Structure 1
Amino acid sequence: MSPPTRSRSAFLLRLVPTALAVFYLPLADQPGNPVDGWAWAFALGAAALFAFGRRIPLTMVLCLSGLLVITDRIGTHADVVVILATFAALIDLALHRDRRWIAAGVLAAAVGLFVNFVDVPLAPLQPPFFFVVTGVIASLLGAPILLGLHLKAARLATAEAQQRAVELEQRRESEKAMVRATERTAIARELHDIVVHHVASIVLRVGVARHLDPDADPETAAALDDVHATGTAALADLRRLVAVLRDPATLDEEAHAPLLLDPADLPDLLHQAVARSRNAGLSLDASVDPGVAGLDAVRGLALLRVVQEGLTNVLKHAGPHASATVTVAATADGAVRIDIFDDGTAAKRHPPTGGHGLLGLRERIHLLGGEFEAGPGLGLAGWRIQAVLPVTAMAAGPA
C-alpha cells in the first residue's frame, strides 16, 4: 500500500466514532428516554477529538476521560461513543508515546470509566464489588494498550526490516562497484602492459623503417606513413581508454575524448576510414550522407565504429581481390541505415566468427534500440553487415 493510500485509510478509521454517533444515537432515541442536544454535542465532540487528535494522544485521552465523567453526571446517551473513542485514543497513546505517558493516560481513563460505570457513592462499596469493577476496568483498558503496543512493535520491526533491506542493497551495490572497479583496473593493466606496449613497438618500428629507407617508392612511403599515423592515433586512444578504466571520474575530462566525438566531424571521420581501407589495397565504393553530421554524439560514435569494424572485417576475411561498398544514409524520419557489402569468396567459406568485433557492434546497436545483422550476402556470396540506428528522444523532439 502506497503512503497516500495508507494515510487515507488511517483517516477513515478515525471516523469510526463519528459513524457510531450518527447511527447509534437515532437508534437510542426512545419515547421515554429521548436523545437530547447534549448527547449529540458530547458524542460528536468526542468523535471529532479522536478524528483530529492523533498528534496529541495524551491530551486526547485526558479530554475524553473528562467527557466520560461529564456524560455520566449529565446522564446522556453519548457515553457509548465517548467510551469507544477513549479506547481508540488509548491505542494511539500506546502506539506513539512511552511508558510514563501511557501510565498517565491509563490512570485518567480508569478514573473516567470508574465514575461512568459506578453510579453509587464510593463509601458503601463492598471490597468484592470494588475489586470486580476494578478488574473489569483493568481488562477493558488493557486490551487497547496491548493492541497499541503490539502495533508499535510491529511497526518498529517493519522499519528495522526495511532498514536492513536498504543496508543490504547498499552493501550489494558497494560490492558490485568494488568488483567492477577491480575488473576495470585489471583490464587497464592488461591493456597498458600488453596492448599498449605492442602498439608502441609497432609505431616505433614503422618509424624506424621509414627513416632507414628515405628513397623508398612513394607508394611504400605512403603506406608506412599511414601505418605510423594510424598506430600513433591508436596508441593515444588506448592510453586515454586506460585512464578512463582506472579512474571513471575522468570521463568528463580529456580522457573522454576517444569515447565521444563532435557530430560535425563525423562525415570526415567516415571518409578517413574509407581512405585508410583504400590505402590498404581494398577496392571500395562509398556513399556517406552529409546529413549524418546532425546525429547526437552517442549514435555518431556507434555509426563510426560499425563502419570501421565492417571495413576491418573486409580487409581481414574477404580475400585480396575483393571489392566492397559502404552506404550510410539518413532517412527522412531521422534514423540512419548502414550497409557494408563485399563480394569476397573467403567470407563465404570462413565467416568471421572467431573474434568479438561483430558481437561488440551488435551489443552497441541493440543498446541504442537499433537493429544489426551480419552474415553471407544474397546468394551466399560475400559478406554483408546491415545496421539501423533509430531516432533518439533527443533527436525526435517533442511529439
Structure 2
Amino acid sequence: MGNIEFGSSSPTEGVIEMSPRRNLLPFVRWVPLALVPLLLLASNFPDQYQVPLWYWSAALAAAVVFLMGGRWPLPVSLALSALAVPMFLAHAWGLSELVPYLGAAGLAEVAMRSRRSAPVIVASGWWTVAVLWGIAAGESSTFWRPATAVETLAVVGLPLLFGLYLRAQRRLAATYRARAADADMRRLEDSARARLAERAALARELHDLVAHHMASIVLRIGVAQHVVAEADPRVRSVLDDVHATASGALDDIRRLLVALRDPSPGEVASVEADAVSTEIAAAIERTRATGITVDAEVDTDLGELDTIGRLTLLRVVQESLTNVMKHADPDQPVTVSVVREHDGVIASVVSRLDDPSGAVDPAGHGLTGMAERVALAGGTLAVGAEDGSWSVRAGLTFSDSERGR
C-alpha cells in the first residue's frame, strides 16, 4: 500500500452585544379589551341609541378572542371575521361601528406570522366575505357600484399588505441577526485558530531549540556511562543522576509540547490507561451511533504507555474515526484495532472510502497534526489508500523506564 510515513525524527473580545428589544405585542393585545368597552359606552345616547346587549357580548368576545392571536393566528382571524358579520348587520351607530374591524387586525396578524400562503388566502377570503356581507346588508341596491370594490380593497387589501410588510421586516431582522451571529462565530473561530497556530508555532520552536538538544544530552550521558563503566562508583553515581535528571527534563518538555498542542490537555493527559481505553470505546460508540458498523479490538492493558503516549493514542483514534464519519462509505464496516506488542502499542483504523477515486488529502490539517503528535511521542504513523480503503496505522513504543518495570 502506498503509505505516507511520519517518523519521529524531528475569550470573546470584540464581540458586539445587542440588548434585545422589549416585545410590546403582548401588551398591544390587551388594548382592544380596554378600548372596546369605551367605544361602546361612547355610542350610547339616551333616548336616541342604545348599544344592544348582544352587540356588547359579540364585541367583548371579539376582544377576548383577539388576545389569543399570538398562539393561533388563523383560527382567531376566522373567529373575528365570523363575529364581525352580525355586528356589520346590526347597523351600529357611532364609534361602535369600529369594533367589527378587529377582523382586519386578525388578517394582518395571519399575514405577518404565516410562512405559507394557504393560511393567508383562507383568512383573506373569509374576511372578504364578512366585509361584502356587511356592505350588502347596508344598501343592496348600491352594492354593485365601484365604491363597493374600492371599500373592499381598502378594508381587506390594506391589512393584508401591512401584515405582509411586517412579515418581510421580521424575516429581514432574523436574517440580520443570523448574519451577526455568524460573523461573531467566525470572529471567535478566527481568534481560536490564531491562538492555536501560535501555540503550535511555540511548540515547534521548543521542540527544535530544546527537545533535540536535551535528547542529545541524554544520549551522550548514556554513552559516557558505558565508557566509564569501570570508573569510580561515585563518578557512575553522578552520571546516573545526571542521566535521570536529563531524562526527566526531556519528559517534562515533551509534556509541555503536548499541552501547547492541545487546547484542553487536562481532560485526558492525567488519566490512567484504563480511562484512555474507556475514551476510545466511547469514540467507537459515537461512530456506531451514526449508523456505521465498527468492528473493534481494543486492548485494555496499556499501562506501560507514558502520559504522552496515552494521550497521543487517544487523539489518533479519535481523529481517525472523525475522518471515517466524514469520508468513509457508511454502508461498509470499519475496523479499529488497538493492541499491545512486545515493545509498544499498534493502533489502526481501516475503512472503505465513500469516493474511491478521491482519498483523504494527506496534507490536511488533521493528518498533519496527528503526525506531529505521534512524532513528539516518539512513534511512527503510516496512512494511505489501497483498493478503495483508507488505513491509518500508528505505532507507539513504551518508554525505557516503563519497559524496564
TM normalised by structure 1 equals: 0.55
Asked if 1 retains the 8 angstrom alpha-carbon contact of 2:89 and 2:137, the reply is no
Asked if 2 retains the 8 angstrom alpha-carbon contact of 1:47 and 1:82, the reply is no
Q: Identify the residue that residue 91 of structure 1 maps to in structure 2.
A: 108
Displacement of 1:137 in angstroms is 2.4
Aligned Cα RMSD in Å?
Answer: 3.1
Q: 1:115 to 1:206 in 2, by over 3 A?
A: same
Displacement of 1:211 in angstroms is 5.7
Residues of 2 paired with 1:19 and 1:126: CA distance? 34
Displacement of 1:135 in angstroms is 0.4
Residues of 2 paired with 1:166 and 1:3: CA distance? 13
Secondary structure of the 1:53 match is coil
Residues of 1 paired with 2:172 and 2:162: CA distance? 15
Is 1:202 aligned with 2:217?
yes
Displacement of 1:157 in angstroms is 0.9
Is 1:176 aligned with 2:191?
yes
Displacement of 1:90 in angstroms is 1.4
Residues of 1 paired with 2:107 and 2:143: CA distance? 29
Residue 150 of structure 1: which of 118, 141, 165 is its match? Answer: 165
Asked if 2 retains the 8 angstrom alpha-carbon contact of 1:244 and 1:256, the reply is no
Residues of 1 paired with 2:193 and 2:19: CA distance? 34
Displacement of 1:172 in angstroms is 3.0
Is 1:57 aligned with 2:73?
yes
Structure number, greater radius of gyration: 1
Asked if 1 retains the 8 angstrom alpha-carbon contact of 2:82 and 2:130, the reply is yes
1:15-68 deviation line (CA, Å, top 9, x unaligned): 121121122222211112112322221111010111113333233222222222
Residue 131 of structure 2: which of 92, 113, 126 is its match? Answer: 113
Is 1:13 aligned with 2:34?
no
Residue 45 of structure 2: which of 30, 34, 50 is its match? Answer: 30
Q: Identify the residue that residue 244 of structure 1 maps to in structure 2.
A: 259
Q: 1:48 to 1:239 in 2, by over 3 A?
A: same
Displacement of 1:141 in angstroms is 2.1
Asked if 1 retains the 8 angstrom alpha-carbon contact of 2:69 and 2:109, the reply is no
Residues of 1 paired with 2:204 and 2:41: CA distance? 85
Q: 1:125 to 1:76 in 2, by over 3 A?
A: closer
1:80-135 deviation line (CA, Å, top 9, x unaligned): 2221x11211111111223333233223222322333454453x2275xx211220
Residues of 2 paired with 1:181 and 1:16: CA distance? 56
Residue 202 of structure 2: which of 187, 190, 193 is its match? Answer: 187
Displacement of 1:146 in angstroms is 1.5
Secondary structure of the 1:235 match is helix
Residues of 2 paired with 1:70 and 1:49: CA distance? 16
Residues of 2 paired with 1:241 and 1:190: CA distance? 12
Residues of 2 paired with 1:45 and 1:226: CA distance? 93
Residue 56 of structure 2: which of 11, 31, 40 is its match? Answer: 40
Residues of 1 paired with 2:151 and 2:268: CA distance? 77
Q: Counting helix residues as a fraction of each chain, which structure ranks higher?
A: 1
Q: Identify the residue that residue 247 of structure 2 maps to in structure 1.
A: 232
Is 1:160 aligned with 2:160?
no
Asked if 1 retains the 8 angstrom alpha-carbon contact of 2:84 and 2:130, the reply is yes
Residues of 1 paired with 2:238 and 2:87: CA distance? 107
Secondary structure of the 2:49 match is coil
Structure with larger RCO (C-alpha < 8 A, sep 6+): 2
Asked if 2 retains the 8 angstrom alpha-carbon contact of 1:36 and 1:76, the reply is no
Counterpart code for 2:108? I
Secondary structure of the 1:52 match is coil
Residue 99 of structure 2: which of 73, 76, 81 is its match? Answer: 81
**For residues 234-273 of structure 1, what are the structure 2 equivalents within 5 Å?**
234-248=249-263, 250-254=265-269
TM normalised by structure 2 equals: 0.54
Residue 70 of structure 1: which of 59, 82, 86 is its match? Answer: 86
Counterpart code for 2:49? N
Unaligned runs of 5+ in 1: 258-399
Asked if 2 retains the 8 angstrom alpha-carbon contact of 1:14 and 1:50, the reply is yes
Secondary structure of the 1:55 match is coil
Residues of 2 paired with 1:46 and 1:73: CA distance? 16
Residues of 2 paired with 1:179 and 1:256: CA distance? 28
Residues of 2 paired with 1:2 and 1:184: CA distance? 35
Residues of 2 paired with 1:18 and 1:205: CA distance? 92
Secondary structure of the 2:67 match is helix
Asked if 1 retains the 8 angstrom alpha-carbon contact of 2:88 and 2:100, the reply is no
Counterpart code for 1:39? Y
Secondary structure of the 2:258 match is helix
1:262-298 deviation line (CA, Å, top 9, x unaligned): xxxxxxxxxxxxxxxxxxxxxxxxxxxxxxxxxxxxx
Residues of 2 paired with 1:133 and 1:82: CA distance? 17
Q: Identify the residue that residue 292 of structure 1 maps to in structure 2.
A: none
Displacement of 1:235 in angstroms is 0.4
Residues of 2 paired with 1:126 and 1:244: CA distance? 84
Q: Identify the residue that residue 378 of structure 2 maps to in structure 1.
A: none
Unaligned runs of 5+ in 2: 1-17, 273-405
